[in-house]
């Protein structure tokens, strides 16, 4: 596959991989000191005693991207959105640091319900999640459905605010159909700023006032994917097999920009989203709606490295349907592309963090240098989806970093 991409701008195995920074946590005071925990920025090898992330797995009836474990990894803690609340698991010990329960209990029996990975604020102080809940009626009052939203202090596990949203039925009168490329219908907290919390569920987006929990506005047939600089960006269904990208004002819900005839929207980076536009894919600025990157084929999906790079990739059954393009998140200039006529295989991308791109060639994990595209580690022992300086999440387990 020769990758045609248009951008619009404004190996080895020692104890520490080349370019990685190894540090140690300071030892705690007192007589019962634990050995310092090794940290790698970024980690490129994984081994040691894995930690089971109980409750992060999805129901057996899930498929596709909905199978992704409901876990977010941040600085030594795995925040798990299980069916009853948020569990903060210490990835060093496997112990729960705290557990924040929802007000209403989940439904018992059956296969369980799908959840989405929690959202952790940029400053790391708050974690957010949302769930479907069926609330039993009392007396003459019937049962009712709510979307329960929790905001929890990451240091203490105490809730900072909560909300209950009466969900709107699907505009079609039938079961909701996923608008996003990930097929997600589960409740999700997309973003929170000083005055607005954006929550999606099924095919509707809700804007909440965090101070009161009140719904400020809501929009059916719309899946929000980004909240950036006061703009909510996402995909809107405009008819059967028809859609567009839409940016709206976070405070009022009024339209700010549109990209017509766009489908399969997906989050690409904090200020970018992607979509299929006819027979190609585009990456669009979430704030302005301007097209930043364009690919000559459909179904490209993107990840950012939580620093300065974005990797867009596709991985089909045929070698001709595979490719990776990495570009700068600010200038949109590409740094490297695969395939590159060198004969190298194109990995299936699983994760991207601090300049390290994680993936698999066949069933063999590999780590590429996010800046150059060269092989950085050929035997990493894992292809994680979530990464921090202490290790990575593969499946429903945390595997410690070893280099």
pLDDT in tens, 239-274: 998 999 999 999 999 999 999 999 999 999 999 999
Ramachandran angles phi, psi of 208, nearest 5°:
-105, 150
What does the mean pLDDT of the chain come to? 91
Q: What is d(CA 351, CA 336) in angstroms, rounded to the nearest whole number?
A: 17
Residue 117 resides in a domain: no
pTM for this model (two decimals):
0.91
Residues 232, 258 contacting (CB under 8 angstroms):
no
Confidence (pLDDT) at 379: 98
Of 211, 96, 83, 239, the C-alpha closest to 151 is 211
Q: What is d(CA 335, CA 328) in angstroms, rounded to the nearest whole number?
A: 7
Between 241 and 286, where is the model more confident? 286
Q: Is 218 exposed, middle or buried (0-12, 13-18, 19+ CB in 10 A)?
A: middle
Residue 362 resides in a domain: yes
Distance of CA 60 to the CA centre of its chain: 21
Domain encompassing residue 326: 300-402
Residue 32 has pLDDT above 80, yes or no: no
- Overall domain count for the chain: 1
What CATH code is carried by the domain that includes residue 382?
Answer: 2.40.10.480
Residues 324, 349 contacting (CB under 8 angstroms):
yes
Confidence (pLDDT) at 153: 99
Residue 204 resides in a domain: no
Residue 328 resides in a domain: yes
Q: Is 214 exposed, middle or buried (0-12, 13-18, 19+ CB in 10 A)?
A: exposed
Mean pLDDT (whole number) for 66-85: 96
Residue 116 has pLDDT above 80, yes or no: yes
Name the one residue in this structure whose structure tokens are 């090794």: 38
Residue 12 resides in a domain: no
Name the one residue in this structure whose structure tokens are 């994990």: 365
Confidence (pLDDT) at 316: 85
Q: 112's torsion region: left (phi>0), alpha (psi -120 to 50) or beta?
A: left
Q: pLDDT tens digit string along 212-223?
A: 999 999 999 999
Residue 318 resides in a domain: yes
Residue 330 resides in a domain: yes
Q: pLDDT tens digit string along 297-329?
A: 999 999 999 999 999 999 988 877 899 999 999
DSSP state for residue 252 in the 8-state scheme: T
CA distances from 270 to 205, 308, 403 (A): 18, 11, 28
Residue 359 has pLDDT above 80, yes or no: yes
**DSSP β-bridge partners for residue 348:** 360
Kindly state the percentage of the chain with pLDDT values over 90: 79
Confidence (pLDDT) at 25: 57
Of 253, 251, 205, the C-alpha closest to 225 is 205
């Amino acid at each position: 596959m020769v990758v045609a991409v248009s951008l619009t701008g404004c190996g080895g195995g020692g104890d520490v991989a080349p370019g990685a920074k190894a540090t140690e946590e300071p030892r705690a005071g007192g007589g019962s000191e634990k050995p310092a925990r090794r940290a790698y920025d970024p980690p490129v090898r994984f081994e040691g005693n894995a930690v089971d992330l109980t409750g992060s797995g999805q129901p057996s009836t899930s498929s596709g991207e909905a199978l992704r474990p409901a876990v977010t990894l941040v600085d030594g803690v795995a925040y798990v959105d299980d069916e009853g609340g948020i569990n903060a698991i210490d990835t060093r010990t496997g112990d729960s640091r705290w557990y924040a329960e929802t007000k209403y209990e989940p439904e018992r029996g059956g296969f369980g319900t799908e959840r989405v990975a929690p959202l952790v604020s940029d400053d790391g102080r708050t974690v957010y999640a949302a769930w479907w809940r069926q609330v039993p009626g009392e007396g003459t009052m019937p049962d009712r459905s709510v979307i329960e939203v929790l905001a929890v202090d990451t240091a203490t596990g105490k809730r900072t605010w909560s909300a209950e949203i009466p969900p709107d039925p699907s505009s079609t009168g039938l079961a909701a159909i996923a608008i996003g490329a990930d097929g997600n219908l589960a409740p999700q907290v997309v973003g929170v700023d000083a005055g607005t919390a954006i929550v999606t569920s099924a095919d509707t987006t809700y804007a909440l006032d965090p101070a009161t929990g009140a719904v400020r506005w809501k929009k059916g047939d719309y899946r929000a994917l980004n909240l950036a600089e006061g703009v909510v960006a996402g995909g809107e269904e405009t008819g059967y097999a028809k859609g567009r990208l839409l940016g709206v004002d976070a405070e009022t819900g009024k339209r700010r920009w549109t990209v017509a005839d766009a489908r399969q929207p997906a989050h690409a980076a904090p200020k970018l989203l992607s979509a299929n536009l006819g027979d190609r894919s585009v990456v669009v600025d979430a704030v302005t709606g301007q097209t930043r990157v364009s690919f000559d084929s459909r179904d490209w999906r993107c990840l950012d490295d939580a620093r300065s790079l974005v990797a867009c990739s596709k991985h089909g059954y045929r070698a001709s349907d595979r490719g990776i393009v990495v570009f700068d998140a600010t200038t949109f200039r590409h740094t490297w592309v695969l395939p590159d006529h060198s004969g190298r295989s194109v990995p299936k991308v699983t994760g991207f963090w601090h300049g390290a791109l994680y993936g698999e060639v066949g069933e063999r994990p590999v780590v590429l240098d996010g800046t150059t595209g060269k092989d950085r580690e050929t035997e990493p022992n894992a292809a994680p989806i979530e990464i921090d300086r202490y290790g990575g999440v593969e499946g429903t387990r945390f595997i410690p970093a070893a280099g």
